[in-house]
Amino acid sequence: MSDSFLDHLPSQEREKIRKRLRSPEEYERLRDKVKGPEDLEREMKKSEQMAEANFRLETEPDAAQRLQDRMAKDMKERGVEGVLESGEISDSVRVALEEGRFNISVEAHPKTHEDALVVIPEGNVQDRMPVKPVLNEGYVQSLLQSP
């Protein structure tokens, strides 16, 4: 029979832990972590779309070029900050992005760790700037709907 760490604690400490774990606040916190079938289905659909987008970016140069042209046009119209989630951007990187000198990839978002479109400026592969979530879905849909 295996001993749990609770078996080695004094009985008063065990009761404190058990009481805390049975509290309504703890129950709510744990309940919020549990995902329902709708959430899982949504996540699976998004993962499938991102995998398909990544596949198209890697295997269909024409589709990747169309998306890159669209993103470059949006960066000229809205500004780089209007399309990308980025902090400080050097002038040379800004010019390269607005001229369309960048690559697009699907990678984990640095904050949310979910797959997202990421722009990699030409010549500076360390800078990976995720596309804003609001625009990310639209870009992925246009990539998937292109012939």
> Would you state the pLDDT for residue 146?
67
Can you give the pTM of this predicted structure?
0.69
Spans of all domains in the chain = 60-145
First to last CA, the chain: 62
Residue 65 is predicted with a pLDDT of: 92
Give mean pLDDT, residues 63-71.
91
Q: How confident is the model at residue 1 (pLDDT cuts 50, 70, 90)?
A: very low
CA distance 116 to 136: 7
Query: What pLDDT is attached to residue 56?
Result: 93
Q: Which residues contact 109 (CB under 8 A, 6 or more apart)?
A: 115, 116, 118, 130
Per-residue pLDDT tens over the stretch 21-51: 777 887 787 777 777 888 889 989 999 999 9
Which residues, in sequence order, are CB contacts of 32 under 8 Å at separation 6+?
none
Element (H, E) at 107: strand 102-108
